[in-house]
Structure 1
């Protein structure tokens, strides 16, 4: 590896260290309580070093936001191997649920925090790309005879908002409380899965 390549690798490694430290602190202490100085202390660099790569805390949160969407998009790659559009939609829902539970730090930044959007201009590229994937799956289902009485964009938004609500209830612990207080008669994991399966069964009937 030459000098140029080593310098580039060092730069990328440092940027990743900044993002990892920021993500840890955002989750542990909250966005408002996390400062550039605290992020710098976490990686044992000066705040000035961080400002060489990110102009402010919002830019760091937006970079994490983008990283999360790239990870989600990579997991959606499984959809390309599923021929039947409704089976593809079901798989997309399961991938989304798994991503939310296994990466709840990213999920929080991507869908439950407003700060990353402060850096978004008129085009929210990563969000638009993720929604386009869902929209294409819905349109494929419509071509196969599902949801034909609904507007594709509105129905895609309905599916996403329902899945987001279910995942957020689980991540934030509200679903656990519902089960704990016996408001539903399943254990926590069964309630989460069963609600998703019920939603899917309802969608399947919309022909």
Structure 2
């Protein structure tokens, strides 16, 4: 390995340490209470060095936001071979739910924290490449469902937006404990069942009737 490659590898290692520490502090202490100095200290670098990698903490929040979408996007990629559009739609929802449960830290930054989107809105472009790729996967699948007879006379953009909002709602309620709390109060002995899975299956049943 040449000197240039070693330097680049070292830089990438430091970048990952910075992002890891930023993610931990954002979620533990809150975005507002986290300072660049505190992130640098936790990452084991000087406050001066950290500015060689990120101009401010909103830049870091957006970088973490992008990292999360890369993970989610790779998981969606496996569905490209699923020809039945409605089966693909159901699988997308399952992947989204699993992603949220397995990566609650990234999910919080991607879909709960407002700072990454605020960072994007301050840039010269309003393009949201990583988010658009994920949403377009859903939108294209909804459009394919229309070809199979679903969502007749409905705008696929509105359908896709509503489906995303509903599944996101389930994820948020689960991650914050509200879904299990309400289920425990109203389902009682049935709580041995997978409440999130049951709720999602119920949602799919309702969606499947729109044909």
Q: TM-score, normalised by structure 1?
A: 0.96
Structure 1: gaps of 5 or more residues: none
* Matches of 1:188 and 1:125, distance apart in 2: 41
Aligned residues: 207
Query: 1:188 Cα deviation (Å)?
Result: 6.9
Query: 1:23 Cα deviation (Å)?
Result: 0.6
* Matches of 2:26 and 2:146, distance apart in 1: 41
Q: Does 1:23 align with 2:23?
A: yes
Query: 1:130 Cα deviation (Å)?
Result: 1.1
Query: 1:98 Cα deviation (Å)?
Result: 0.2
Taking a change above 3 Å as real, the CA distance of residues 142 and 9 of structure 1, as seen in their structure-2 partners, is same
Please provide the CA RMSD for this pair. Answer: 1.3
| Alignment counterpart, residue 165 of structure 1, candidates 160, 169, 184 | 169
Deviations 1:152-183 (A, max 9, x none): 00000010000000100000111121123235
Query: 1:149 Cα deviation (Å)?
Result: 2.3
Query: 1:189 Cα deviation (Å)?
Result: 5.8
Deviations 1:34-58 (A, max 9, x none): 1111111111111111100100000
Aligned to 1:126: 130
Q: TM-score, normalised by structure 2?
A: 0.94
| Alignment counterpart, residue 201 of structure 1, candidates 188, 201, 205 | 205
Taking a change above 3 Å as real, the CA distance of residues 188 and 13 of structure 1, as seen in their structure-2 partners, is farther
Q: Does 1:62 align with 2:25?
A: no
